[in-house]
Amino acid sequence: MILAQFQSVGRDLCAQGLISYAGNLSIRLGDRLIITRRGSNLSCLEENDLVETGIDKNDRCTPLASVELPVHRAIYQETSALAVVHAHPPHAVTLSLIETELVPPCGEGSPQMERVPVLGWNMGVKPGGLADIIAQALKESRIVMVRGHGSFAIGQLFQEALNYTTMLEESSKVSCLLKSINAGVPRK
């Protein structure tokens, strides 16, 4: 059952263009978490692509986990989330290079996603980095962007985190289109 949940979300992320194949997923199980393996292809996950490890401490499986494990751990330590989706939505990533927050245009968002903070400005951003900053931001928002890298969404279920990721990318597409048609057009 757990594998099927991971497979469904991984396929959806790929089919919607929210990842090429990379990204990572995790769920919390008490003081443990299950996370996708380092380098796994989310579009076709198998049982050996899932790694169970501790939220607070390393064990023999820890080196196999995604490089984003420190971020997932920090999120579970600081929030009540039971699921995390890390994706690379292309329009949102593009906007994150020029905006300090992503605001869905004209009511395209939901009350839980009115403004999406873009983290990592004036900082070195690398996979697994900014863990504490991301976790703190997710106390106030259900989804955040890391500048030029990707989004981290939380939920009580995978579907909830996936929905935030999808809403962010859809609103980012609209924003990108608006910016492209308004470029060079004089305002009245």
pLDDT in tens, 83-125: 999 999 999 999 999 999 998 876 555 555 678 999 998 887 7
- pLDDT band per the 50, 70, 90 thresholds, residue 186: low
How many C-beta atoms lie closer than 10 Å to residue 139's C-beta? 12
Sequence-distant (≥ 6) Cβ neighbours of residue 55 within 8 angstroms:
28, 31, 32, 33, 73, 76, 77
- Interhelix angle 158-182/2-15, rounded to 10 degrees, is 10
pLDDT of residue 124: 77
Domain definitions of the chain by residue range: 2-182
Residue 105 token pair? 């245009």
Residue 162 token pair? 């996936």
pTM for the full predicted model: 0.91
pLDDT of residue 27: 98
Helix (H, G, I), strand (E, B) or coil at 131: helix
Any idea which architecture 2-182 has in CATH? 3-Layer(aba) Sandwich (3.40)
Selection from 48, 165, 69, 66 nearest residue 116 by Cα? 165
